[in-house]
Amino acid sequence: MIEQSKAFARNLMWKYRIPGRIAFRAFRDINEALQYVSSAGSVAIKPARQSGGKGVRVFWDRQAYLRDSLNKAKATQVIAASSDVKAYGDIDDLIVIEEAVSGVEYTIQVITDGKSIIALPPIQDHPHVFDHDIGPECGGMGTIVGPGPTLPFLTQEEYGESIEIMRRTLDALQREIGLRYTGVLSGQFMLTTYGPTLIEYYSRFGDPEVLNALAMLNGDLLEIIEAAVNGRLSSVKYSFREGVVAISKAVVPLGYPHSRELARGRTITMDMDKIRKLGCEVYFGSVVEEGGLYKTLGSRAVEVLVVGRTYEEAYERIENCVDSIKSPDWQLIHRRDIGGRELIEKRIRDAERVRAVYRWRRERGLAG
């Protein structure tokens, strides 16, 4: 429920006053949603349940002369998002309308036995298909972590606040439902002018976020999972690698994510000897092997992971590895900017900007 129903998750945060929450309204009646959204200002409009990664749009209401056109676009989105949910018929609400927030995104994944948690390092995903964060959102085109179990733009204090939000969510969820939560809870966060802000929950590892997180783990994942199941997670010994970074990149056929039929049935070849020599690992995704060749199934075909001493060194190696993955009959795409200096420096600047605002608000008691 915490992943399936966005309305349930938002209501839980407000009922138990969990930090990181934002203003929202959930609607069953489409006409009520249309009336509300026309005067709601800048909003994010979402299907009220998970619907295969479809249907989330953010509208910034900043130019008065565009308001009529913007309201028409909002109305179109409300109808489209509600249609995505109607096909499921398993939750009460159809639409969630939230205040729009902006900032720098990151993911916190925790493993729990219902009492203790192990928080994995913060990971930054890149959900837009093309460089410079443009194009449609998808399942994730790559992730970064480091140096060590950190991110370049996130402070330890912000990381700690994010973990506390996850801890309080698990406590609230177990009180609300009356069952022990065992397994993984992931939070998609954004560092905004409110501080660490929760965007969505997932009751599982993120993909490809889990690649980077486990690349940093010194410990036995199976032992951790068994300890969580048996309620003895606090006894597990583990640590995270220091002094290294990890970058992962997805390689996808052109057409993904919206034209998956176009992206299906394409051939992929890989120079595995070169990839291994460069110290990268390849994880197979939406592909099938046919007659010794790999054929795409329409989604992210493979993900490549590298661990290095610095972002500069790791970036050069993973780009060389990705260039060894080709298609003789189609165009493959990946994001060249992930892990690059220019994008990381931009994230740091963006984080510093919102950090200055939320700290100013907190100093003056205006953080609510």
Mean pLDDT by 10 residues, the chain (368 residues): 93 97 93 92 88 74 89 90 69 88 97 97 97 92 97 98 98 97 97 96 95 95 96 95 97 94 96 96 95 93 97 98 96 98 98 97 87
Helix or strand run (H / E) with residue 11: helix 6-15
Kindly calculate the radius of gyration of the chain based on its CA atoms and give it in whole angstroms. Answer: 21
Residue pair 107/206 in contact (Cβ under 8 Å)? The answer is yes
Taking alpha carbons only, the member of 154, 95, 97 closest to residue 123 is 154
Domains and CATH numbers, the chain: 23-99 (3.30.1490.20), 104-240 (3.30.470.20), 245-342 (3.90.600.10)
Q: Residue 283 and residue 79: Cα distance in Å, rounded? A: 38
* 189 token code pair: 């966060």
- Per-residue pLDDT at 136: 87
20 Rama sector, left if φ>0, alpha if ψ -120 to 50, beta otherwise: left
- Per-residue pLDDT at 235: 95
Long-range CB pairs of 310-313 (<8 Å, 24+ gap) are 310/147, 310/245, 311/144, 311/146, 311/152, 311/245, 311/247, 311/339, 311/340, 311/341, 311/344, 312/341
Name residue 192's amino acid: T
Q: For the residues of 198-219, what is the DSSP string, one character each?
A: EEEEESS--TTHHHHHHHTEES
DSSP secondary structure code for residue 92 in this structure: S
Q: Residue 233 and residue 170: Cα distance in Å, rounded? A: 15
Residue pair 168/18 in contact (Cβ under 8 Å)? The answer is yes
- Per-residue pLDDT at 48: 86
Distances in Å between the Cα of 58 and the Cα atoms of 97, 218, 259 are 10, 39, 22
Helices of type H across 245-333: 272-277, 311-322
* 238 token code pair: 């583990």
Residue pair 89/207 in contact (Cβ under 8 Å)? The answer is no
- Per-residue pLDDT at 55: 66
Taking alpha carbons only, the member of 242, 218, 250, 236 closest to residue 145 is 242
- Per-residue pLDDT at 137: 87
* 247 token code pair: 């970058």
**How far is C-alpha 126 from the chain's CA centre?**
7
Distances in Å between the Cα of 67 and the Cα atoms of 38, 64, 70, 110 are 9, 5, 5, 41
Any idea of the CA torsion for 280, 259, 105, 323, to the nearest 10 degrees? 20
